[in-house]
């Protein structure tokens, strides 16, 4: 059995081209790097070490000197030679390696997208423009909420303000999904809900299934918990159930995340039959479903029942948000979960931030209870539909090479770019023309090119939509008049 290597049983090899003092220096450096020699530890004297290794004293002196010059060792009269630092400390002297420490978060971050200038028209964001927010009603709710001592004087319970949970339960139940106040957890936006779910249900080595493409905040949250994320392909109705079945068999996921109503980024709506099939499959495999219903209030016509409503087996945790239908400034979301799952979720939530601010919760509770919510939603849907039609008309005029299905609601239009172009290329070219769009790459759970862009008609002023399409048209024409950068013959053919 080979003898365990310690810093002191280095075996010099005179046959190597490397001088002996360097061999010894490298062995000591490795021992320091690997922690076999620790900071503060004392090395043998030069004379003793030379005798021990059968080397000349000058060889050991030269090796020690090299490491002293690098700041790894220091000699003290009467105490010998002491290890002063590890060589990683030395390499990065003074600098904490932040990017390496945060690699789990940054490794899978979506492409940053081009920098926006102040005059750019924002079609890339998913936020409502301020004119779509019920500002007067929220201001009145804020004034009433702030006048109650409890809302400004104490923290809310981790599960959420009882008044907000009661108002949400009434509102969800009126819309057809029966939920009780004690089945709700209030979160700091739906995005925090995803992190709560990840913290509660996922760990390193677990797998989460998502639609491909899907909301990137979901796969980022799941990966930040150490889980692997597997994308399931979609068709015009959302997640493909055969591909889902295959994935359930193959990877045995810990959860399935999907957005059946107005999927982000594609805007697709899953039909009733497919909803039933997805539920049956997940029931068979005992796989929890996280149903994102954040766009559920924004369907222009009739919409199929939510998965939560159809759920016979207590599989579904539904997520909602005030950001997409009331105001993104509130940063409020919620999870409606089976009671057995709730204590787990509340514990995860409390470990993240103890609780969501009481005051903003009280504002939303007041807004929901004061009766204007349904009127606001009806108006918002009408506004969004009008904007969708404006954008569609402008795209047909200025961007005839884009292909898309008419969104049945929500704020997004998902468009296929001309063959041979990628979403990211169009995103970059559009930025140069003063309009921001989001390349589809941002929404792919696996790395790769996308042939799509996502346009949000809710975030700019309605009056800017025609101009935005004009600018995007200029970007597309400019791209098509340039030869492809790759020189790939297949891509070149696609340009003509």
Ligand X SMILES: Cc1ncc(COP(=O)(O)O)c(C=O)c1O
Question: Is 473:433 a contact under the CB 8 Å cutoff?
Answer: no
The residue from 294, 298, 326, 435 that contacts ligand X (CB under 6 A) is: 294
Q: How far apart are CA 289 and CA 305, in angstroms?
A: 15
String marking each residue 243-262 x if it binds ligand X according to CB under 6 A: ----------------x---
d(CA 267, CA 422): 20
Residue count, binding to ligand X (CB under 6 A): 14
Binder of ligand X out of 328, 357, 410, 451 (CB under 6 A): 328
Nearer to ligand X (CB atom), residue 50 or residue 218: 218
**126 vs 213, beta carbon nearer ligand X:** 126
CB of 474 to ligand X, least distance (A): 27
Question: CB of 414: closest distance to ligand X in angstroms?
Answer: 13
Q: Considering only residues 182-201, where is the footprint of ligand X by CB under 6 A?
A: 189-191
Q: How far is the CB of 215 from ligand X (least distance, A)?
A: 4
CB of 371 to ligand X, least distance (A): 23
Kindly tell me which of 64 and 215 has the beta carbon lying closer to ligand X. Answer: 215
Computed on alpha carbons and rounded to an integer, the radius of gyration of the chain in Å comes to 30
Which range touches ligand X (CB under 6 A), out of 83-91, 167-175, 321-329, 374-382? 321-329
- Least CB distance to ligand X at residue 135 (A): 18
* 59 vs 325, beta carbon nearer ligand X: 325
Question: CB 252 → ligand X: shortest distance, Å?
Answer: 25
Quote the CA–CA distance of 229 and 166 in Å, as a whole number. Answer: 34
Minimum separation from the CB atom of position 125 to ligand X (A): 8
Rule CB under 6 A: choose which of 141, 292, 303, 422 binds ligand X: 292
Nearer to ligand X, 126 or 238 (CB): 126
Q: Considering the complex, what minimum distance in angstroms separates the CB of residue 321 from ligand X?
A: 3
**Of residues 300 and 495, the one with the C-beta less far from ligand X:** 300
* Residue among 10, 21, 49, 215 that touches ligand X (CB under 6 A): 215
Site for ligand X in 75-134 (CB under 6 A): 126
Cβ 412 to ligand X, closest distance in Å?
9
Kindly tell me which of 29 and 324 has the beta carbon lying closer to ligand X: 324
User: In the complex, which residue's CB is closest to ligand X?
Assistant: 189
User: Whole-number minimum distance, CB 295 to ligand X, in Å?
Assistant: 7
> Three-state SS across the chain?
CCCCCCCCCCCCCCCCCCCHHHHHHHHHHHHHHCCCCCCCCEECCHHHHHHHHCCCHHHHHHHHHHHHHCCCEEEECCCEEEECCCHHHHHCCCCCCHHHHCHHHHCCCCCCCCCCCCCCEECCCCCCCHHHCCHHHHHHHHHHHHCCHHHHHCCCCCCCCHHHHHHHHHHHHHCCCCCCHHHEEEECHHHHHHHHHHHHHCCCCCEEEEEECCCHHHHHHHHHCCCEEEEEEEECCEECHHHHHHHHHHHCCCEEEECCCCCCCCCCCCCHHHHHHHHHHHHHCCCCEEEECCCHHHECCCCCCCHHHHCCCCCEEEEEECCCCCCHHHCCEEEECCHHHHHHHHHHHHHHHCCCCHHHHHHHHHHHHCCCHHHHHHHHHHHHHHHHHHHHHHHHHHCCCCEECCCCECCEEEEECCCCCCHHHHHHHHHHHCEECEEHHHHCCCCCCCCEEEEECCCCCHHHHHHHHHHHHHHHHHHHCCCCCCCCHHHHHHCC
Comparison of 333 and 439: residue with beta carbon closer to ligand X = 333
- Which parts of 330-369 interact with ligand X (CB under 6 A)? 333
Nearest to ligand X of 25, 122 (CB atom): 122
- Least Cβ distance, residue 102 to ligand X (angstroms): 21
306 forms part of the interface with ligand X (CB under 6 A): no
Comparison of 60 and 270: residue with beta carbon closer to ligand X: 270
Q: Which residues here bind ligand X, judged by CB under 6 A?
A: 126, 189-191, 215, 217, 259, 264, 292, 294, 321, 323, 328, 333
């Amino acid at each position: 059995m080979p003898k365990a290597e310690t810093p002191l049983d280095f075996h010099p090899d005179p046959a190597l081209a490397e001088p002996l003092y360097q061999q010894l220096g490298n062995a000591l450096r490795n021992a320091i790097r690997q922690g076999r020699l620790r900071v503060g530890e004392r090395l043998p004297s030069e004379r003793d070490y030379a005798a021990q290794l059968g080397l000349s004293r000058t060889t050991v002196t030269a090796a020690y000197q090299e490491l002293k010059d690098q700041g790894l060792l220091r000699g003290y009269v009467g105490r010998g030679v002491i290890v002063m630092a590890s060589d990683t400390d030395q390499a990065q002297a003074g600098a904490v390696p932040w990017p390496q420490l945060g690699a789990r978060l940054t490794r899978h971050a979506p492409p940053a997208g081009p920098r926006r200038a102040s005059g750019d028209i924002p079609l890339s964001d998913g936020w409502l423009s301020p004119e779509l927010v019920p500002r007067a009603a929220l201001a009145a709710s804020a004034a009433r909420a702030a006048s109650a001592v409890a809302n400004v004087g104490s923290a809310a319970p981790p599960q959420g303000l009882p008044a907000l949970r009661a108002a949400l339960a009434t509102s969800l139940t009126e819309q057809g999904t029966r939920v009780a106040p004690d089945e709700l957890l209030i979160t700091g936006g739906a995005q925090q809900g995803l992190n709560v779910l990840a913290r509660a249900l996922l760990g390193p080595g677990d797998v989460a299934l998502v639609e491909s493409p899907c909301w990137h905040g979901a796969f980022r949250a799941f990966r930040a918990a150490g889980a692997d994320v597997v994308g399931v392909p979609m068709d015009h109705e959302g997640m493909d159930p055969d591909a889902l079945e295959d994935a359930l068999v193959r990877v045995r996921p810990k959860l399935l995340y999907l957005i059946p109503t107005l999927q982000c980024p594609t805007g697709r709506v899953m039909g009733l039959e497919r909803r039933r099939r997805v539920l049956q499959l997940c029931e068979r495999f005992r796989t929890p479903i996280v149903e994102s219903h954040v766009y559920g209030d924004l369907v222009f016509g009739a919409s199929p029942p939510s998965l939560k409503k159809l759920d016979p087996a207590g599989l579904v945790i539904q997520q909602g948000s005030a950001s997409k239908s009331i105001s993104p400034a509130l940063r409020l979301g919620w999870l409606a979960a089976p009671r057995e799952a709730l204590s787990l979720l509340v514990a995860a939530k409390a470990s993240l931030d103890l609780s969501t601010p009481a005051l903003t919760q009280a504002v939303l509770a007041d807004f929901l209870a004061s009766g204007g919510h349904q009127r606001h939603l009806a108006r918002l849907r009408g506004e969004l539909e009008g904007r969708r039609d404006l954008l569609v008309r402008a795209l047909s005029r200025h961007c005839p090479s884009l292909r898309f299905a008419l969104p049945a609601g929500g704020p997004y239009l998902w468009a296929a770019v001309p063959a041979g172009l990628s979403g990211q290329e169009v995103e970059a070219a559009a930025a140069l023309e003063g309009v921001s769009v989001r390349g589809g790459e941002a929404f792919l759970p696996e790395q790769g090119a996308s042939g799509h862009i996502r346009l949000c008609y809710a975030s700019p002023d309605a009056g800017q939509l025609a101009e935005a399409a004009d600018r995007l048209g200029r970007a597309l024409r400019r791209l098509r008049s340039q030869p492809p950068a790759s020189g790939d013959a297949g891509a070149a053919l696609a340009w003509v």
